[in-house]
Structure 1
Amino acid sequence: MRISFSEWTKSGSPWVWLNAGAVAISIIMVVGLLALIAVRGLGHFWPADVIQADYEENGRQRTIIGELVEREMVPAPQLRGAGIEVPEGVEAMARDLIKVGNRDFGSADFIWAMDHFITHTQRPAMLFAAERLEWGNFYGYLREVKEAGQSVGRHTGYEKTQEYLTLWAEFQQRIDRVLDIREQILSIEKKDIGSINYEIERLRLKERSLDLEQSTDTAAYAKIEARRSELNAEYEQLQQRLTDLYQQINRDTFVAEIADGREVEIAVAKIVRAFLPNDMGLAAKIIHYAEKVWEFLSDEPREANTEGGIFPAIFGTVMMVILMSVLVTPFGVIAAVYLREYAKQGFITRLIRIAVNNLAGVPSIVYGVFGLGFFVYFLGGHIDDLFFPEAKPSPTFGTGGLMWASITLALLTVPVVIVATEEGLARIPRAVREGSLALGATKFETLWKVVLPMASPAMMTGVILAIARAAGEVAPLMLVGVVKLAPSLPLDTNYPYLHLDQKFMHLGFHIYDVGFQSPNVEAARPLVYATALLLVVVIALLNFSAIAIRNHLREKYKALEM
């Protein structure tokens, strides 16, 4: 049977196909975007080959050593405008972006080189790359290893001989030694000395509190002073140990030849890792890649956040979202229960619902300004006056921190939880409530034991939507607690363990800082993609956890809905 076009249109089939096509296109775009971010971000950790190229331009010849990062085609008129000779008939020429590193011995980390002027390219097996604590990557030929200024091995050729392999093994042993000493130093500085400094500060505040109270309790002062003397003695011992470790870590140096033929001497203590990318097999590169990804996930940032890891930002993001969820869920649920179950349904209630819906559309920066003015300056300032007068004029809660950031985002997302919970409460049949009341239960018991459990999946839906919005917010956090680099995590072994007054790092702000505030844009670009991908993964994991809880609750109370 043949159907006319008008009948086919009236049947609604075109709209079904249009909706299906729109969903398919959206999925393809999302997957494509994530794939682009993943390729550009995760590709940064792969150990790329290091090239050595002879470059001749305008009669000047030089050697370039570095990683080929990008190649693009540049129109001939643009090149001629820059004073570059372009052969007749050529419409465009290739230009290479090369990461040459050695920023402390040259002018820039990256250079643009015209592919036309590269006369010879090779990948020597002896060329090594070294990641450093500062000044970015180093590229060159290892020439000599020294211990306390005395040479322990030297190699001058460009062929990979047994002599060179022995020198390289000696170099790697000394890097391993430095890494072990550096780990001991960090443990002493962050854990041992950090704990002592924290306790000394608490003693100072306690003594200051006694002064403000004009206390005459000499025993309390004596106890504080005795404990301070013990801590100072422990500090002196740790400081002496640190001095010895720093002397040990600065013992070794190495000499390397860079692209212009100079030999430079660098302390091994500045090296994080060194490797021969052109001499690595596939298995070695995979191991190196896994180490780099793990470092990115578990280490702290360095080099103005353009190197190292982002673990403090991951921790801060997850901690803030958890605290926000704990705060927003009870307030959102209580407000929804009151509006749906207890409030008289009239003009005022409708007005409140309109206000709640409008609050969901308020720009997040407005919440940030409100949080800064009300929570930080007003509430935080009064909390400092009442509970922390001994710390003034230094603010405790009168400045941005984890607690104010979590509360601000809870305020931002509470309308979402209210709306979702109200919709869940509205779907519960009236017969369920009446049956519970008929069996002798009070209204509160009916609400607590019957209605709320059945509405819990809807509550979790609100929490999921709140997490999805709050985890990626940046603008309000810039005003109420997020910083570029936090010296310590807000959760540690020092009492009270969870430091709600402490500033923290956040993945969203980290992306903004690295992408738009970095002094080395080219070096930071891959980390922007990698951090963005990680933020998406973190949000997805948080949402999947909430979805799993919601599905469990839905299955648990499915029988009550039937």
Structure 2
Amino acid sequence: MKTWLKSGSPYIWLTGGAMTLCMVMVIGLLLLIGVRGFSHFWPAAIVETTYTLPGAEPVRLLGEISRSETLTAVQVREAGIEVPEGQQLVTRHLFKQGTRDHLGRDFVWYLDDFMSEWRYPKDALMLERREWGNFYGYPVELREGDQVVARGEALPRELAARVKRSNDLFEQIRRIERRDIGNINMRLERIRLAERRLELSDDVPPAQVAEQKEGFARERAELDAEYLVLQDQLDQLYLDMRRDTLVAEIMDGRQVEISLANIVRASQPNAMGLGSKLAYYGDRLWEFLAGYPREANTEGGIFPAIFGTVTMVFVMSIIVTPFGILAAIYLREYAKQGPLLRIIRVSVYNLAGVPSIVFGVFGLGFFVYFIGGGIDRLFYPEALPAPTFGTPGLFWVSLTLALLTLPVVIVATEEGLARIPRTVREGSLALGATKAETLWRIVVPQATPAMMTGLILAIARAAGEVAPLMLVGVVKLAPTLPIDGHFPFVHLERKIMHLGFHIFDVGFQSPNVEAARPLVYATALTLVIIIIALNMAAVAIRNHLREKYRSESD
């Protein structure tokens, strides 16, 4: 036994077991998040049942079973609901009955003991709406204006065609509002700023000022005319989109009218086959990844958050990489070794342990208000008092995170430089190369894999940070993306959305917690996948560089 312990085998097995346990926990966590999140997009069966409390009239229920749980009879009695004598455990179901614009609540708990047998009617309809969440009911008739166009068996097919038409019109409206009218507004703003710049200028002759103002007036008149044309198009599109109306019966027996302009997707899950369900799942999943959020971020997609996260990581990497590498090269190769350098290194190590929110406060005070305010006064006086760079934005987010991850890059680069054998440096110097040539042509290329390791660690930490981002540029809903087709194409002053903050907002700030719960899991898994993809790309580059310089050295 002592020989076995001295051989070190137990420690090898313990290390392997701990590693296996960690891998199982990580994979299990990812599977849990994936199942809880991405199962949300699968079409759930619509359940109909009758709920009858003692001494009360029966109530018809219609909706999805969100989840179920078992309670003790004591807990149920404390809520004021009687249960049969002698029963110790009670099962209850969270019913997603939707239709909260008519029923008042989206999710309601019901006890299993007072439910009748569950039925799955094939004609039950689920409507995913742009406002008021999901709708559950039975289709009655489809109207075009005051004329009935479909009833009975022909209604689902006609409804699907008209919902598609309504969505196509909605996309046209959104394209006009965001692209065409957005372009006009941007050009009008540039004219306003040019006029203001002209007013602030003291060295422009009055005749030239008058001539330029006339030109601005002509441009503004042309843009106003373009806007009126687009507004007429929008009015007609809105009128066409609101043409059709669906009459449906909800679970309490009332018949209500729903404009197809408010419907994103219509389906009858109980009548779907496997192929239809797979197509429906793919459509909803694609909308989640490529669409824009709606309903206070509890519905729709997360594309702006994905785009903002990836853009922020790239800009942060561009900033932190040269600064971190140059700082490490100076500390390792040029700085004089002594007490001052040791103090600097200790400070760098301590900087890595500072809470991230402190970096956010520093970024807000120094980067945004001090530097950004100074930039506005020097280069954008015509826009004041509205700030351009003196307000949180993409550049300050990236700069704050670059400062946050700078110690990681410095330490990793220094370790990589320290691994280069001294004989390599001496051999280069012996052949007549200068110290600078030896550094940039021999040492730095061989230390590139270590630099990439530092960048990988920086990306992994920066992509998941949330606390400092709320102070320096990340918002709940960003009106525009930071990259578009307008010069200068990359707009560093714009605010962005971020997946980490989106998870916080949906999970803890949402007015509809139950509806937001699956999206929290799905968004969290998306963030993990993006971080893994970015890290894998950096690892591939690092391995390529390592093999390249290893083959060259051989």
TM-score > 0.5 by shorter chain? yes
Query: After superposition, where does 1:505-544 map in structure 2 within 5 Å?
Result: 505-544=497-536
Report the equivalent of 2:105.
108
1:486 aligns with 2:471: no
Report the equivalent of 1:253.
245
Q: Which amino acid aligns with 1:185?
A: I
Quote the offset at 1:12 in angstroms: 1.9
1:335 aligns with 2:327: yes
Q: Which amino acid aligns with 1:482?
A: V
Report the equivalent of 1:56.
52
Report the equivalent of 1:463.
455
1:308 aligns with 2:276: no
Q: Which amino acid aligns with 1:17?
A: W
Report the equivalent of 2:116.
119
Report the equivalent of 1:237.
229
Query: Which of 380, 385, 388 in structure 2 is aligned with 1:393?
Result: 385
C-alpha distance in 2 between matches for 1:345 and 1:351: 11
Query: Which of 303, 306, 312 in structure 2 is aligned with 1:320?
Result: 312
C-alpha distance in 1 between matches for 2:268 and 2:475: 37
Instruction: Name which of structure 1's ranges 435-444 and 372-381 shifts more when overlaid on structure 2.
Output: 435-444
Report the equivalent of 1:157.
none
Unaligned runs of 5+ in 1: 155-163
Between Structure 1 and Structure 2, how many residues are aligned? Answer: 549
Quote the offset at 1:560 in angstroms: 5.0
Query: After superposition, where does 1:106-255 map in structure 2 within 5 Å?
Result: 106-154=103-151, 164-214=152-202, 215=204, 216=206, 217=208, 218-255=210-247
1:42 aligns with 2:38: yes
Report the equivalent of 2:20.
24
Quote the offset at 1:89 in angstroms: 2.4
Q: Which amino acid aligns with 1:104?
A: D
Instruction: Name which of structure 1's ranges 451-460 and 58-67 shifts more when overlaid on structure 2.
Output: 58-67
Query: Which of 321, 342, 347 in structure 2 is aligned with 1:355?
Result: 347
Report the equivalent of 1:287.
279
Quote the offset at 1:561 in angstroms: 5.1
Deviations 1:202-230 (A, max 9, x none): 11001001011144222222222222221
Quote the offset at 1:346 in angstroms: 0.9
Q: Is the 8 A contact 1:127 1:141 kept in 2?
A: yes
Instruction: State the SS of the aligned residue for 1:370.
Output: helix
Q: Which amino acid aligns with 2:70?
A: M
Report the equivalent of 1:70.
67
Report the equivalent of 2:430.
438
If the length of structure 1 is used for normalisation, what is the TM-score? Answer: 0.96
C-alpha distance in 2 between matches for 1:400 and 1:522: 32
If the length of structure 2 is used for normalisation, what is the TM-score? Answer: 0.98
Instruction: State the SS of the aligned residue for 1:274.
Output: strand
C-alpha distance in 2 between matches for 1:444 and 1:229: 61
C-alpha distance in 2 between matches for 1:301 and 1:355: 43
Q: Is the 8 A contact 1:198 1:494 kept in 2?
A: no
Q: Which amino acid aligns with 2:232?
A: Q
Deviations 1:23-56 (A, max 9, x none): 1111111011101000000110000000111110
C-alpha distance in 1 between matches for 2:553 and 2:513: 56
Quote the offset at 1:121 in angstroms: 1.7
Report the equivalent of 2:76.
79
Identical-residue share of aligned pairs (%): 61
C-alpha distance in 2 between matches for 1:88 and 1:101: 33
Q: Is the 8 A contact 1:149 1:253 kept in 2?
A: no
Q: Is the 8 A contact 1:129 1:276 kept in 2?
A: yes
Query: Which of 407, 416, 422 in structure 2 is aligned with 1:424?
Result: 416
Unaligned runs of 5+ in 2: none
1:98 aligns with 2:95: yes
C-alpha distance in 1 between matches for 2:434 and 2:520: 56
Report the equivalent of 1:500.
492
Q: Which amino acid aligns with 2:385?
A: P
